[in-house]
Amino acid sequence: MFEAKGVLPALVTPLDKNGNIMEDSLKKVIDYTIQEGVHGLFVLGSSGEIYGLTKEQKRRVLELTVEHTAGRVPIYCGASEITTRDCIDTAQMAKDVGGVAALSVLTPYFMTPNQQELTAHFAAIAKSTDLPVILYGNEGRTQVKIDVNTCAELSKIDNIVGIKDSSGDMTKMIEYLRVTDRDSFSVLAGRDTLIYAGLCHGATGAIASTANIAPRLVADIYNAFIEKDYKKSLELQFKLSPLRLAVDKATFPVVLKEGLRMVGIDVGYAFAPAAEMSPESKLILENVLKDLELYNSFN
């Protein structure tokens, strides 16, 4: 039985000004995060700007990630499109490329299905593949919620093995844990400020955007918790929080890319209309990274 666990960075997709993939930069981010102790990689998520990539670019990002990771850690792949048909197509692409441990499927965006439609959506995607499927709720960005009862129903499908919860609603995360079988269904924190809290209630890890920038810090929240050093885990969570709060200082995922540049990896630009950070916001981020001893740390 597949278990989704540990800390996985929701990897950015390095892009030049014309929206072309910066392949060498992606390799550097992969090496940096793995060397700093993450437990897996998650590509083609919202941090990876899946919504702006062409089909060919999605395939290339995944191919390159699989090739360069070379089995060092498991790879999770986003199959997060607006329609059921397109999610199934992306899931099939991931299967064709190979080397993928699990799929993550975000609720549709722009379209706002009801819970019955959402259940049918996820069930159809799961039926189309033999890969493990992780539901992904991020209602702040998609305006589509995964109700607790919907999660409970979907968790009974054999290859739906978990949920990433980015709602920021701790009660909802706990309810997901309460109503599902914790021996066969994992709950992953998707809000980086709630990793420790999630672990305390039975979550098995996190898919964290800040783990692009501070992979060791985020991974060690999990590692310390597993080692039963709860005090250290909590202290590390508090240490991470200013970085996560800084992510909201510009249009997502601009801060993640600027943060990596400050660490020492140029990952280019986000798709327009997302623009660069203001000088004031850059200074806030720079000070956070200096406090974490991450500024210009990559070499």
Is 290 annotated as catalytic? Answer: no
Question: Residue 10 pLDDT > 80, yes or no?
Answer: yes
Residue 113 Cα to chain centre, angstroms: 23
What value, to the nearest 5°, has the Cα angle with vertex 42 and ends 50 and 162? Answer: 105
- pLDDT bin (cut points 50, 70, 90) of residue 140 is confident
Please identify which of the residues 32, 58, 76, 136 carries the catalytic annotation: 136
Statement: 6-240 belongs to CATH 1.10.150.120: no
pLDDT at residue 177 in the model: 98
Mean of all residue pLDDT scores within the chain: 97
Q: Edge to edge, what strands does the sheet with 102-106 contain?
A: 6-9, 205-208, 186-189, 160-165, 133-137, 102-106, 75-78, 41-43
269 φ, ψ to 5°?
-125, 160
pTM given for the model: 0.96
- Give catalytic status of residue 230 as yes or no: no
Question: Percentage of residues in the chain with pLDDT exceeding 70?
Answer: 100
Structure tokens at 6: 């540990």
For 147-183, write each residue's pLDDT tens digit. Answer: 999 999 999 999 999 999 999 999 999 999 999 999 9
Q: Which of 158, 133, 238, 259 is nearest to 195 (CA)?
A: 238
* pLDDT attached to residue 299: 73
pLDDT at 1: 76
Residue 290: Cβ within 10 Å count: 12
Joined together, the tokens standing for residue 249 give 């200082």
Q: Which residue among 164, 176, 196, 269 is the active-site one? A: 164
